[in-house]
Structure 1
Amino acid sequence: MTQESAARPPDPSDPLPDLTPDQLETLHQVGDQWSRVTRPPREWRDALPVDPNVGSYPARHQIHPPRYERFVTVSELGDEKRASEVSRVRALSSSSTSPLGSRVRRVLLGPALKSTALVRERMRKLVALPVLSSDALSSVAYGPEAMITILVIAGVAGLALSLPIALAVMLLMLAVGLSYRQTIRAYPNGGGSYIVTSDNLGRVPGLVAAGGLMVDYVLTVAVSIAAGVAAITSAVPSLSGSAVPLGLGAIALLLAGNLRGIRQAGLIFAAPTYLFVVCVGSMIVVGLVESARQGFPAPTPPQVNATTGVTLFLIMRAFSSGATAMTDIEAISNAVPAFKPVEWRNARTSLTWMVSMLLALFGGIMALVLLTGTLPKPHETVLSQLGQHTFGPGVMYTLLQASTAGILLLAANTAYNDFPRVLSLLARDHHAPRPFMRMGDRLAYSNGILLLTVSAALIFVAFGGQTNALIPLYAVGVFLAFTLSQSGMVVHWWRARTRHWRKSLAFNAAGAAMCAVVFVTAAIAKFTAGAWVALLAVVVFVVLALRIRVHYDRVGRALRLHPHTASLPGNTPPAPLCPPDRVPPGPERSERGTDRDGTEAEAEETPEEIHHLSVVAVETLDLANIRALAYAASLQQPVLAVHLSPTDEEAERMTRYWRHWGNHLPLEVVVCPYRTIIAPLVDYVGALHEQRPDLTITVILPELVPAHRRHRLLHDRMAFRLRHALRERPKIVVTSVPFHV
């Protein structure tokens, strides 16, 4: 995998990749074989009983959004006159997809967004910072406490190491933060752990890094929700028996917010993050000022009983526990394409802000802990004790607790932004099912969001929503990804040797070494407590991803064009049909063509009364699509190929490939700016049917039929969905040409 292809984010034109010179030559050879066994292209075009150009979707300046400029609705093909004439067809189309469910979905999630709205749906820095930093910033609420909890078992001697270990954790934060700034510079199109590791260390290490991230993202949602619910139930004990329903409700809220799209989720989740930063920052400033006024008095020595001695293993455990305060620090480098232009520059600025705030909050909390001698208590967090000591009971303390609970609940939003994005990159590289590569009509990776929600909800319920039960599984995967990513950057700088490469290499090498220490320590210390589950999940993920790649590679080889294996039609002329302007309007037609209510009647009773048109939906020119075209041409009926393109660039590319093949059959390319495929195809077929209501239109689709049932989940069920959408329309037949792999 080259750096350019690895760093490039998924694009709407990915389903139609550029053909290599060898593939173009093969396509030309297949076209030559067609030219020897079928009629000239002009005869096929002249035989069409309809005009294939039925109109286009409205241009950008013609769109009148209902509420905001970025919102558009899916309109019919053609002009306003046709839209009014086919209101009944639109109603039928809506009924095939459950009008009530569609209406509720639009109310909750908003109207569909046009492809060009992707640029306007990107985040500015003030929105991206809370969206992508909520998990890392919220971890200061439990990171310092986790470190002190380990040291307190060694008594006063262990607590005396709090300052140097805290400084080591802050040094790790700084080193990792600077190293990810180098990652953004080297991969300006987005380069998280998966991309960097795959590009520099190879496919399997890249999948290991991706597995660590995926496991960590799922656990991030479960742990953050569990911690937030614990904060709520601590403040309101009467809700302690409803922890699981409260957590599932919070996950459902996150699901709805993220399905609305990046920008909407950012606006929803920005305020709680900023409120938390302001409250904790105010507590640190007030506490330090008050301590300075008193001359920084020495705290009262704590009365603790040591249960173990100070050992190297204890120090490493405390260091790894404190390092949980920097989980998901790489989120910004993963989501560079989500920023407004200039993307990489805004991402680096946001990363600098995040690391600066993380250092300030973590260092400030540790300073207050050391100045006040605060120790963990069974039923009260360290942050709560510091708030009581600084503000006393009152409005500020209540606001601090509320903001802490809020950011812990919303910290899971970082995972919701990055999990679907990483999954889409895996799908682009054929390591995950292709549906995860597709954006929904709200410009969000809806399938990935749904998978994350279901996985996190199952884990949350399985562990009863208990934070203590989930923590041992946490952070192992992310530090595995950190270690591999930083190691990959070391290899990158060694190969590239660009300006200041030695300094960059040193930063990444230091970050890799420190992250490796945290990973090994956490894996060993927490192995029996549950870390083995996370490690096993990573192994299972890697094996599954490799097996998926094997399947897609086998399908790709099976679909590759070969001059002697491509299907060819017989030497069959198109059946003669009456052109649309010479359709005889007799009384028999008017009587048998409509029912009393004005709907079209299917009254053909003899074969000669049936007139055909075959419409072949073509995605790309591979063996399966060529076979579908050959099948349609062999029926001795007029054939029209239709290709839906999300962009003008893909439309031009498809037209160029079609001409290179030989332009044997008529092709109509429809530029559809919407994320759905079924609705525009149904609309197009309906427009053809309006021209010639007497025609029986057969929609022909190539359909991959895997040998094993389990592989069907890796492919779109387009034929089933289209058949379901068209079943309410008269005189339209949907058939599929199976291609067994």
Structure 2
Amino acid sequence: MFRDLKRFLIGRPMKSSQLDHERLPKWKALPILSSDALSSVAYGTEAILGVLVAVSASAMWYSLPISLAIVLLLTTLILSYRQIIYAYPSGGGAYVVSKDQLGDKFALVAGASLLIDYILTVAVSITAGVAAITSAFPSFLEHKVLISVLMVLLIMVLNLRGVTESATVFSYPTYAFILGLLVLIVAGLFSLKNGHVDVDLSRPHEVAINGITWFVILQAFSSGCSALTGVEAISNATPNFRSPEGKNAANTLGVLGILLAVLFAGTSLLAYLYHVAPHPHVTVLSQVAEEVFGRGGLYYYIQGTTALILILAANTSFTGFPLLAALMAKDGYMPRQFTLRGDRLGYSIGIIALSLAAILLIVAFHGDTDLLIPLYAIGVFLSFTLSQTGMVRRWFRLRDRGWQGKALINGIGAVVSLAVLTIFAVTKFEEGAWVVLVILPIIVVCFLRIRSHYDVVASELRLDIQKVHPQQTGNLVIIPISSISQVVNESIAYAMSLTRPENIICVYIGFDFEALHAMEEKWRQWNPGVRLVTLRSQYRSILRPLFRFVDSAEARVSENDFITLLVPEFVTRKWWHRILHNQTSLLIKAWALHSKDIIVISVPYRLKN
């Protein structure tokens, strides 16, 4: 049943040779890897206005120069990440750059930052998309957490089906959103030209706006920088592009930069022109669309495509998180399971882990985007800073042709990213940024502990093939039984294939003398040719008497001999039949594997009915 459900949801397995067919052309890569960055247009302007409107309505004028500063920062980051794409076409972004240029410790900080960013991207994108839905349909507001969780699960299933398939599904809503916003910006500016909007672009006439300080401006700037999250995704996932990977990824990143600059600057300008202020239950973009189009078809088109891209923006993380986790797992800093590809050639463990982490965040923060955003940009700009710093060091090491200009671009990116990171950490500290600052070192310590474990295991398992060879030894087989049955008969037959009958002991544990005598009499009548040991358990425990016997047997055999605990068990045809039977064999195996230095073998007997 589970296999049939899995095939229905995910599809049939794909061959490893089909991996090249899963690579993305540019027109598919843009929506699947840029939806996070593009979707941030929907809440970047709102984040700026949310800080300024708390001072006064007049202070909203500052949203224009702040938006311009963010566009300039975007330009620097796009140029910087184009250089990373060409320098590190294997992907991995800040983690790979930091590992190569700054060392493992900085790489782990970058990796932890990116992983946190990916998780928060899913949570923020989904909750922001649901907020767009509830802005148009307020009756859904009380169910926003449930809707958010269902959206995460839907995107998880689509990604488990494969990169190419999910890219096809996600491309159309992304292009529809881009078209809708371009139409909104053009229509809004056209209304301005025709005098339908009363506009004054000059600074308010007051000499000074009460309450406006550099701290407030920097706080608004750092909040608006949430619109830059996701610009690193293309460089992180360069291997997902079709050949030539580097050139295609760099061109796609350039297109993203132009689109993001136009859409973000345009929506910020319209929000100011139409005197839109943040509202608890209606997004800024929703208010702008209503001002320009009214509550007609185009308004619902904008809201619908905004909700879709905000929800689908989470898919950027479903591309980046599994790939980064796989790279870190290959280096030994994450569980090895993250390197395994699933039936559809995606890193399924990473996809599922990302989904569960995002769901936990959504439930913990009650699906509130405003509570999640302060956690959002710390990891992003920390990874920006490390990647740009690493690239500066790379250019100074190589000193190839034109290295001064390249180093200057990355240097500016590093300085500005560090400045934004510092501003964000200070201004958003009490709003929740402290959580990320506390969690980051904990995650890094976990990475180091995982690597230490793998190093210890590798050291213990290492074998000198020139000196060490397997030696023939004895084997004492112990078979715990509860009755004389077909299962026990097959288990004894299997044990005889491993060793001589005199090295096989069957152990029966009874709770009273009558049961013990009955078993001994049956055994004499059956006479299978192996010894039976009966033990009485006064406290009705199976495990303690059994393993006391194993300990005593272990003390009597040679140091080089093996002790094998052979556990008979029958397997039912239907899964629900299992709950009708005792699972003593499972307990015996679990206890033995984790507490005894012995070999444990399960001998299954499959029931026909």
TM score, norm. by length of structure 2: 0.77
Q: Look up the match of 1:540.
A: 442
Give how far 1:343 is off: 1.0
CA deviation digits over 1:564-583, x for unaligned, max 9? 863433599xxxxxxxxxxx
1:179 equivalent among 77, 80, 94: 80
Hey, what's the Cα distance between the residues in 2 that align with 1:571 and 1:218? Answer: 52
Correspondence 1:323 to 2:254:
no
**CA shift in 2, pair 1:399/1:728, >3 Å:** farther
Amino acid at match of 1:311: T
Q: Which residue in 2 is equivalent to 1:44?
A: none
Question: In the TM superposition, what whole-angstrom CA distance separates every residue of 1:698-731 from its partner, at most 9, and x where no partner exists?
Answer: xxxxxxx99999xxxxxxxxx99xx88x94689x
Task: Tell me the matched-pair count.
Answer: 502
Distance 1:400 1:511 in 2: 33
Letter in 2 for 1:288: L
1:332 aligns with 2:234: yes
* Letter of the 1:241 counterpart: E
Q: Tell me if 1:135 matches 2:36.
A: yes
Distance 1:432 1:708 in 2: 26
1:192 alignment counterpart: 93
Three-state SS of the structure 1 residue aligned to 2:23 is: coil
Task: Tell me, yes or no, if structure 1 residue 422 matches structure 2 residue 331.
Answer: no
1:105-154 CA-to-partner distances (Å, cap 9, x unmatched) read 11110111111110001111111111111111000111012112222334
1:407 to 304, 309, 323: 309
| Structure 2: tracts of 5 or more residues without a match | 475-485, 501-560, 563-591
Structure 1 residues 300 and 376, CA gap change in structure 2 (3 angstroms)? farther
Residue aligning to 1:491: 393
Q: 1:487 to 1:144 in 2, by over 3 A?
A: same
Other structure's SS at 1:230 match: helix
Contact in 1 for aligned 2:52/2:216 (Cα 8 Å)? yes
- Cα distance change on mapping 1:728 and 1:106 into 2, 3 Å: farther
Q: Residues 425, 609 of structure 1: CA spacing in aligned structure 2 closer, same or farther, 3 A cutoff?
A: closer
Indicate conservation of the 8 Å contact 2:61/2:204, yes or no: no
Question: 1:448: which partner in 2?
Answer: 350
Deviates more, 1:231-240 or 1:327-336: 231-240
- Matched with 1:102 is 3
> Does the 8 Å contact 1:157/1:310 carry over to 2?
no
Structure 1 residues 567 and 360 mapped into 2: Cα distance closer, same or farther (>3 Å)?
same
Name the counterpart of 2:20. 119
Residue aligning to 1:214 = 115
Native 8 Å contact 2:35 2:313 kept in 1: yes
CA distance in 2, matches of 1:196, 1:427: 17
Paired residues of 2:44 and 2:224 also in contact (CA < 8 A):
yes
Deviations 1:55-103 (A, max 9, x none): xxxxxxxxxxxxxxxxxxxxxxxxxxxxxxxxxxxxxxxxxxxxx1111
User: Which residue of 164, 167, 180 maps to 2:68?
Assistant: 167
Partner of 1:232: 133
Instruction: Give deviations 1:308-363, integer Å, cap 9, x for gaps.
Output: 52222112111111111010110000111111111111111111111110011011
Distance 2:494 2:374 in 1: 73
Give ranges in structure 1 of 5+ residues lacking alignment: 1-99, 573-594, 596-600, 613-633, 636-704, 710-718, 731-741
Structure 1 residue 255 displacement after superposition: 1.1
Residues 336-392 of structure 1, C-alpha deviations (whole Å, 9 max, x = no match)? 111111111111111111111001101111222333333333433221122122222
Q: Aligned equivalents of 2:204 and 2:388: distance in 1? A: 42
Contact 1:440 1:446 (C-alpha < 8 Å) held by counterparts: yes
- Provide, for residues 620-648 of structure 1, a one-character-per-residue CA deviation record: whole Å limited to 9, x for no partner: xxxxxxxxxxxxxx99xxxxxxxxxxxxx
Distance 1:107 1:375 in 2: 46
1:457: which partner in 2? 359
Is the 1:336–1:344 contact (alpha carbons within 8 Å) kept by the matching residues of 2? yes
For the residues of structure 1 that align with 2:102 and 2:454, how far apart are their CA atoms? 22
Contact 2:92/2:327 (<8 A) preserved: no
Q: Per-residue displacement from partner, 1:535-588 (whole Å, max 9, x unpaired)?
A: 11211110000111111111222222336863433599xxxxxxxxxxxxxxxx
Q: Superposition RMSD on alpha carbons, in Å?
A: 3.2
Alignment check: 8 A CA contact 2:135 2:286 kept: no
Tell me the residue number matched to 2:454: 552
Q: Determine the structure 1 residue equivalent to 2:542.
A: none
Deviation at 1:609, TM superposition (A): 8.5
Name the one with the larger helix percent.
2
Using the TM superposition, name which of 184-193 and 160-169 deviates more: 160-169
Question: In 2, distance between residues paired with 1:445 and 1:330?
Answer: 20
Percent identical pairs in the alignment equals 43
- The question of whether the paired residues in 1 share the 8 Å contact of 2:101 and 2:394 is answered with yes
Higher relative CO (CA 8 A, sep ≥ 6), structure 1 or 2?
1
Aligned AA (1:516):
L
244-253 vs 174-183, greater mean Cα deviation: 244-253
Structure 1 residues 607, 484: CA separation in 2 closer, same or farther (over 3 Å shift)? Answer: closer
1:712 is matched with which residue? none
Amino acid at match of 2:373: I
Give me the whole-angstrom Cα distance separating, in 2, the residues matched to 1:604 and 1:563. Answer: 35
Distance (whole Å) between structure 1 residues aligned to residue 605 and residue 26 of structure 2 = 48
- The answer to whether residue 384 in structure 2 is matched with residue 468 in structure 1 is no
